[in-house]
Amino acid sequence: MVTTQSADSVLKSYYLGVVAEQLDKAANPFLARIRKTTSDVWGKDVRKAVRFGVNGGVGAGTEEGDLPKAGDGNYAQFVASLKNLYGTICISDKAIRASASGDGAFVNLLNDEMEDLVRSSSFNFGRMLFGNGTGLLATIASGEGNVYTVDSVQNFAEGMIVDVYRTGGTELAAGGLTVKAIDRAQKTITLGGSAVETPEGYQIYLQNSKGLEITGLEAIFGSGDLYGVAREGKSWMTPYTETVSTLTESAVQKAIDKVEELSGGKVNFIVCSWGVRRALIEALSKYRQTETLALDGGFTAISFNGIPVVADRFCPAGTMYLLNTDDFALHQLCDWQWLEGEDGKVLKQVAGKPMFTATLVKYAELLCYRPCGQAKISGITES
């Protein structure tokens, strides 16, 4: 006989490990390459001492001369708040009772819910990797009724629940709106609920997430302070950037060379948009056959001189990131865990409703220890 108590036990004993593995390794090829660690987590923050430059205590001299004077250590402290990442499943009491007569039926029910959770979580966490931490999904250009034209539909999927803020993100205009439909050709989305009046310039964020997402790649290549450290006057905080129209093998190699020249690091992973990957394949195929590489998590990449190149749906159009994944780490308080009540249960009834929910949680933040060891090529004409 299947009960909520036995369901609770199955969620803890079986599904937690499976889901955590899928979200950490199979959700995104870039995320799969990043080291996960519980080090340098202090309370609610990540505090990481990073070294830049070289030690000054090196020099030449005579047999009887003074030894080189030891240099001061070039250290800076990165500080960032752990971000709260959640994923929730919802099962009705009716569904539980309908499958209570057979273990197989209940397993199928849980499998469907967990697959949906992994799919939704992978979508949103993959999106965050390319963001700047603000959680901005798009800016509204115009609206007619509940249909809104936005600057990009890349970050949307049907079923998402979003908040709409007034221009500049200063005040909530409407919250808890569900994305009902997306027209990717026309760059429009349809939102449920009451229409937002005069929405031009308004901004759309994932529900309750404004300013609370992990620090993604755009923050590293952006402006202003990073991890509490001012960039001005610090070349080691500045990644290499280049703008090109036509993507060539030489342009990619130049960015790789510049990373090594300026930082001493080595690019070991390249991620780009779909159109940029096609442009790269065209450029490479003029001289040789394109090779492929197998990556962790079941992903496949094309090879650029032995460096894996993957396309990601959330990478901005016309953009290629050239990264050293050894410079990144996802600092976390713990791996994915179920949110437990005081009674130790993870499956809890929604107050006043015949529904049960369970929530996965991870407290984490993404850090790049060496911003100058990364590169970005933008403005590329896609194929």
The arithmetic mean of pLDDT across residues 106-125, rounded, is 81
Contact 180, 199 (CB under 8 A): no
Q: What is the pLDDT of residues 1-42, one digit of tens each?
A: 556 777 778 788 877 888 888 888 777 889 889 999 999 999
The arithmetic mean of pLDDT across residues 213-232, rounded, is 91
Q: Which residue has the higher pLDDT, 233 or 289?
A: 233
Identify each DSSP E strand in 119-186 by its residue range: 136-144, 147-150, 161-165, 172-183
The arithmetic mean of pLDDT across residues 157-184, rounded, is 92
Distance CA 176, CA 153 (A): 18
pLDDT at 3: 66
Whole-prediction pTM value? Answer: 0.87
pLDDT at 104: 64
Per-domain boundaries in the chain: 4-53+74-130+335-365, 136-206
Q: What is the pLDDT of residues 39-58, one digit of tens each?
A: 999 989 999 988 876 665 66
The arithmetic mean of pLDDT across residues 94-115, rounded, is 72
Distance CA 231, CA 264 (A): 19
Instruction: Assign domain 136-206 to a CATH class.
Output: mainly beta
Contact 76, 372 (CB under 8 A): no
What's the CA dihedral at 296, 15, 44, 131 to 10 degrees? 50
In 3D, which of 356, 383, 144 has the Cα closest to residue 283? 383
Q: What is the pLDDT of residues 317-355, one digit of tens each?
A: 999 999 999 999 999 998 888 888 888 888 888 888 888
The residues with which 337 forms a beta bridge, in sequence order, are 361
Q: Pick one of 3.10.50, 1.10.10, 3.30.450, 3.30.2400 as the CATH number of 4-53+74-130+335-365.
A: 3.30.2400
| Chain centroid, CA 90 distance in Å | 24
pLDDT at 370: 92
Percent of the chain with pLDDT over 90: 51
Mean pLDDT of the chain: 87
Provide the pairing of β-strand 35-37 with 328-332. parallel
